Amino acid sequence: MQIILLTHEREMARPSNTGQLVLSAVSEVGVSAERLAWRRTEPDKTLLSILGSPCTGLVYPDTETAGTPYKALGIETCERFILLDATWQEARKMYNRSPYLHAVSRVTLNSARGSRYRLRRNQKKEGLCTAECVVEILRSKGRKELADRLEEQFIQFNVAGG
């Protein structure tokens, strides 16, 4: 399983970025995480080459693209997860300005609880941060110990303020 964080350039240096937690915590046999910088006019060539793969899915909420048709991909069959690692406002812009993402199959996470992320203002209560999304993915894929470890690091990060 592979986690790809498509990260907005402003997010790279933010101390409140939970993608950094994912990169440091997710390294186990059969699971990898990597970060690719999002560039509006020059998409990453590696990313473009994998977008059409049948086992690649974009983790992005349905509510953000109301009325836009997409192909759903079940979390159980997805092996490569792409997450937009940014604030909600930046992620929306990234998606809207990246037509190559619109055709990617979409994975929907069904979290039983809302976000517990408290380090930023103007966040969606129902919208999970990057680390919380990865915790949900890992649990859904049967990687409970790794999910628990990342969740514990996220809780400490959230309490400490980044």
pLDDT in tens, 138-159: 999 999 999 999 989 888 887 7
Stretch (H or E) spanning 138:
helix 130-140
pLDDT in tens, 5-47: 999 998 888 887 889 889 988 877 789 999 999 998 899 999 9
Q: Which amino acid, 64?
A: E
For 115, other C-beta atoms within 10 Å of its C-beta total 16
In terms of Cα–Cα distance, which of 49, 142, 43 is closest to 84? 43
- pLDDT at site 26: 84
Task: Check pLDDT > 80 for residue 56.
Answer: yes
- For residue 100, give its domain range: 2-160
Report the CATH number at residue 64: 3.40.1280
pTM attached to this predicted model: 0.88
Domain count, the chain: 1
